């Protein structure tokens, strides 16, 4: 009797030592930082968005007026439109390059790991650095792309890539593909390698062609990975700022103002902090909605393995 | 006759695989050229003479002798390139140290202890990944000002550490989860307690996780642009990416492209070195994120 009693006591004592507030001490620094520099700012953003909040002088409660203003702000709507356009084009371009690359480096053979590393290199440098590098490459007089095209006889004179909307847009998309494709490639590669080789082998014996195997075997099995890569690419593109700020300063005729760029302008150039906060809440809502779609997509992927 | 036939077909097959291999590697080299060329062109061009800096990099290598003119002209911007490199290094290294310390403690707490609201708090930290920091920059600016940390490298560092926490705490909790509890029990019996136990016994066991957390913290802090642009207001505090905006804007309408090339080289080389040295740990972190 006593034997079982002490046995029952032992785990209880152990649990008591492990439970309680001691664990909280360990996570306290992390919680303090997250609350101070993340939770509070989010709440504060919501509070500010209900005010007229200039940099200097008094703030004034104006309720939802900032949000009403947002829907009639033609420049904000065109920033939204441009960001959506950029997101679609950049994501399609990144996938169009990254998917073939992932297939290219999938099989383990000679030099493949060197190829993977080199393709991945631009991922680890900053977007600001990459933008700066490419703004030089694309410069009309001192750059590389235009003068090289001229030297090769492909153009009569060096084209001024960043002077027109289409040229600047194309340059930025190529820069982003160069910078991001390696990342998407690695994500897709993990999905490709998770496909059992017996399956592809069986499909080949059954006479399925290369395209058929890709379309009816590879793509469905990679659904979850593709969803993940897609979400990372889409959220990254929606938050684009560095490339437009550094490469085109908003672009020819201010047509390259992304949403984050517009919030930056409102908050830190015009100092309409309240309105900037309302725009931030709108951006936040868009991204949380996308995160929810992401979870839904991932779960849908699980249901159909 | 009978032996010649198979050897012929074998030869043909060998020739075929050789041709396929050559095509494969030719494609591979072409792809690598595209991804490497911008770096190579910039590095080579940054060592051209000052007089050549304005000219297109055709050819990219220095034609009239190697010179560091571009780096010298970069030094004339802001408070000098050393000052800004040191700023960037200070912020990045402090971010690494603080991120590792804070996420080590939190990862240990979440892995080994039970306390009220544990799961809620863990989800709260991870959930901040969904919120883009771009949307909370204004209040961050105001809160830092209230704390007397506006226009300070310490303030910027604390923001960077916070941005790293969701990923880092997640990584460290998984690292501690993978350590068998028996090791800890044995160390407890030997008299190691709390922080001593954590640092002496457990830290060596979770070192790969620490390396992953550290490399991501370094690269993100070194490369970050928007927060630094907003939170730093005086010239001598600028980190490298913010300094480069002054270089990019140019003087009297003329951009010194030599200084741009030199700046890109200064900002790129540490990233490439850190990545190439610690590639294994970087990829581990990427996979962990992808699986999550």
Q: What pLDDT does residue B4 have?
A: 52
Report the percent of chain B where pLDDT is more than 90. Answer: 60
- Residue A216: pLDDT band with limits 50, 70, 90: confident
Is any Cβ of chain A less than 8 angstroms from the Cβ of B150? no
In this structure, the answer to whether residues B32 and B145 fall within a common structural domain is no
**Cis upstream peptide for B59 (omega within 30°):** yes
A172-177 long-range contacts (CB < 8 A, ≥24 apart) are A172/A134, A172/A243, A172/A244, A172/A247, A172/A248, A172/A256, A173/A89, A173/A90, A173/A93, A174/A134, A175/A130, A175/A131, A175/A134, A175/A243, A175/A247, A176/A90, A176/A93, A176/A94, A176/A237, A176/A243, A177/A90, A177/A93, A177/A94, A177/A97
In this structure, the answer to whether residues B257 and B235 fall within a common structural domain is yes
Cβ pair B162:A34 closer than 8 A = yes
Q: What pLDDT does residue A301 have?
A: 57
**Domain with A293 in it:** 60-303
**How much is the average pLDDT of A23-51?**
93
In this structure, the answer to whether residues B60 and B163 fall within a common structural domain is no
For the cut 70, the answer to whether the pLDDT of residue A91 exceeds it is yes
Indicate the residue of B56, B226, B271 with minimum beta-carbon distance to A124.
B271
For the cut 90, the answer to whether the pLDDT of residue B272 exceeds it is yes
Of residues B149, B96, B163, the one with CA closest to residue A38:
B163
Is any Cβ of chain A less than 8 angstroms from the Cβ of B57? yes
Residues B18, B14: Cα–Cα separation, whole Å:
6
Residue B192 or A6, more confident: B192
Q: What pLDDT does residue A13 have?
A: 46
For the cut 80, the answer to whether the pLDDT of residue B87 exceeds it is yes
- Domain at A141, CATH number: 1.10.3720.10
Cβ pair A144:B138 closer than 8 A = no
Indicate the residue of A45, A148, A178 with minimum beta-carbon distance to B135.
A45
* Total structural domains within chain A: 1
In this structure, the answer to whether residues B111 and B243 fall within a common structural domain is yes
In this structure, the answer to whether residues B265 and B123 fall within a common structural domain is yes
Mean pLDDT over each residue of chain B, to the nearest integer: 90
In this structure, the answer to whether residues B25 and B62 fall within a common structural domain is yes
Contact residues on chain A for B232, CB-CB shorter than 8 A: none
Cβ pair A38:B128 closer than 8 A = yes
Q: Is residue A37 part of a domain?
A: no
Residue B66 or A180, more confident: A180
The pLDDT tens digits of the residues spanning B90-149 come to 999 999 999 999 999 999 999 988 888 899 999 999 888 888 888 898 899 989 999 999
- Domain at B181, CATH number: 1.10.3720.10
- Residue B175: pLDDT band with limits 50, 70, 90: very high
In this structure, the answer to whether residues B88 and B67 fall within a common structural domain is no
Cβ pair A129:B38 closer than 8 A = no
Residues A21, A105: Cα–Cα separation, whole Å:
50
Indicate the residue of A29, A114, A137 with minimum beta-carbon distance to B102.
A29
DSSP characters for A221-245? Answer: HTHHHHHHHHHHHHHHHHT--HHII
Contact residues on chain A for B268, CB-CB shorter than 8 A: 125, 129, 133
Q: What pLDDT does residue A217 have?
A: 87
**Domain with B34 in it:** 4-71
In this structure, the answer to whether residues B153 and B255 fall within a common structural domain is yes
In this structure, the answer to whether residues B190 and B65 fall within a common structural domain is no
Of B17, B52, B71, the domain-final residue: B71
> CA-nearest residue of chain A to B28?
A115
For the cut 50, the answer to whether the pLDDT of residue A12 exceeds it is no
Is any Cβ of chain A less than 8 angstroms from the Cβ of B142? yes
For the cut 90, the answer to whether the pLDDT of residue B24 exceeds it is yes
Cβ pair A246:B27 closer than 8 A = no
Of B71, B93, B112, the domain-final residue: B71
Cβ pair A122:B38 closer than 8 A = yes
For the cut 70, the answer to whether the pLDDT of residue B6 exceeds it is no
Of B44, B71, B98, the domain-final residue: B71
**How much is the average pLDDT of B18-29?**
92
For the cut 80, the answer to whether the pLDDT of residue A1 exceeds it is no
Chain B stretch 177-216, residues whose beta carbon is closer than 8 A to a beta carbon of chain A: none
Q: What pLDDT does residue B12 have?
A: 84
* Total structural domains within chain B: 2
Beta-bridge partner residues of A272: A54
Best mutation target, A20, A106, A136, to test chain B (most B CBs within 10 A)? A136
Mean pLDDT over each residue of chain A, to the nearest integer: 88
Q: What pLDDT does residue B292 have?
A: 53
In this structure, the answer to whether residues B175 and B98 fall within a common structural domain is yes
For the cut 60, the answer to whether the pLDDT of residue B215 exceeds it is yes
Report the percent of chain A where pLDDT is more than 90. Answer: 60
**How much is the average pLDDT of A19-28?**
84
Q: What pLDDT does residue A302 have?
A: 59
In this structure, the answer to whether residues B115 and B60 fall within a common structural domain is no
Cβ pair A190:B290 closer than 8 A = yes
The pLDDT tens digits of the residues spanning B217-236 come to 999 999 999 999 999 999 89
- Residue A218: pLDDT band with limits 50, 70, 90: confident
Lowest mean pLDDT among A264-278, B1-15, B85-99, B273-287: B1-15
Residues B90, B154: Cα–Cα separation, whole Å:
9
> CA-nearest residue of chain B to A289?
B130
The pLDDT tens digits of the residues spanning A175-189 come to 999 999 999 999 999
Q: Is residue A77 part of a domain?
A: yes
Q: Is residue A27 part of a domain?
A: no
* Two structure tokens written together for B243: 């300094």
Q: Is residue A55 part of a domain?
A: no
Contact residues on chain A for B125, CB-CB shorter than 8 A: 30-31, 34
For the cut 80, the answer to whether the pLDDT of residue A305 exceeds it is no
Contact (CB, 8 A) for A129 and B223: yes
Best mutation target, A12, A15, A18, A142, to test chain B (most B CBs within 10 A)? A142
* Two structure tokens written together for A200: 């592809």
């Amino acid at each position: 009797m006593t034997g079982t009693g002490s046995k029952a006591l032992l785990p209880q004592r152990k649990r008591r030592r492990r439970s309680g507030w001691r664990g909280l001490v360990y996570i306290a620094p992390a919680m303090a930082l997250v609350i101070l520099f993340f939770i509070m700012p989010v709440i504060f953003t919501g509070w500010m968005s209900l005010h007229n909040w200039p940099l200097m002088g008094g703030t004034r409660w104006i309720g939802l007026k900032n949000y009403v203003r947002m829907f009639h702000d033609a420049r904000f709507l065109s920033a939204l439109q441009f960001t959506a356009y950029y997101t679609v084009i950049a994501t399609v371009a990144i996938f169009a390059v990254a998917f073939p690359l992932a297939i290219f480096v999938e099989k383990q053979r000679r030099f493949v790991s060197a190829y993977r590393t080199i393709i991945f290199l631009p991922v680890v440098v900053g977007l600001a650095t990459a933008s700066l590098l490419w703004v030089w490459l694309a410069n009309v007089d001192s750059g590389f792309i235009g003068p090289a095209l001229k030297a090769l006889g492909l153009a009569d004179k060096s084209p001024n890539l960043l002077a027109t909307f289409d040229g600047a847009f194309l340059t930025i998309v190529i820069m982003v593909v160069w910078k991001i494709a390696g990342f998407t490639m690695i994500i897709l590669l993990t999905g490709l390698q998770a496909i059992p080789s017996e399956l592809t082998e069986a499909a080949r014996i059954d006479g399925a062609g290369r395209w058929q195997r890709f379309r009816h075997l590879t793509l469905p099995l990679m659904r979850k990975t593709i969803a993940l890569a897609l979400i990372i690419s889409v959220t990254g593109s929606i938050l684009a700022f560095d490339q437009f700020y550094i490469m085109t300063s908003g672009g020819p005729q201010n047509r390259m103002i992304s949403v984050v760029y517009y919030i930056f302008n409102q908050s830190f150039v015009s100092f309409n902090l309240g309105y900037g906060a309302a725009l931030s809440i709108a951006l936040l809502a868009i991204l949380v909605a996308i995160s929810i779609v992401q979870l839904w997509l991932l779960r849908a992927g699980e249901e159909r393995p | 006759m009978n032996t010649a036939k198979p050897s012929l077909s074998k030869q043909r097959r060998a020739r075929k695989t050789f041709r396929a291999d050559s095509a494969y590697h030719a494609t591979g080299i072409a792809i690598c050229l595209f991804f490497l060329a911008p770096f190579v062109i910039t590095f080579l061009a940054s060592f051209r003479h000052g007089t050549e800096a304005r000219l297109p990099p055709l050819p990219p290598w220095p034609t009239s002798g190697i010179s560091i003119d571009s780096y010298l002209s970069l030094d004339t911007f802001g408070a000098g390139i050393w000052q800004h490199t040191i700023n960037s290094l200070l912020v990045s290294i402090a971010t690494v140290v603080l991120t590792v310390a804070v996420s080590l403690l939190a990862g240990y707490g979440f892995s080994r202890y039970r306390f009220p609201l544990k799961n809620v708090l863990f989800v709260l930290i991870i959930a901040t990944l969904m919120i883009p920091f771009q949307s909370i920059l204004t209040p961050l600016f105001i809160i830092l000002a209230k704390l007397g940390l506006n226009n300070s490298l310490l303030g910027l560092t604390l923001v960077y550490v916070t941005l790293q926490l969701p990923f880092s705490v997640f990584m460290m909790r998984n690292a501690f989860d993978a350590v068998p509890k028996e090791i800890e029990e044995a160390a407890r019996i030997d008299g190691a307690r709390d922080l001593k136990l954590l640092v002496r016994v457990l830290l060596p066991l979770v070192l790969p996780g620490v390396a992953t957390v550290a490399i991501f913290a370094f690269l993100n802090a070194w490369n970050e642009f928007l927060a630094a642009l907003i939170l730093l207001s005086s010239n001598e505090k600028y980190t490298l990416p913010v300094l480069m905006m002054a270089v990019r804007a140019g003087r009297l309408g003329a951009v010194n492209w030599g200084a741009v090339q030199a700046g890109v080289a200064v900002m790129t080389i540490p990233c490439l070195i850190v990545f190439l040295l610690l590639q294994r740990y970087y990829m581990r972190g990427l996979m962990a994120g992808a699986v999550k």
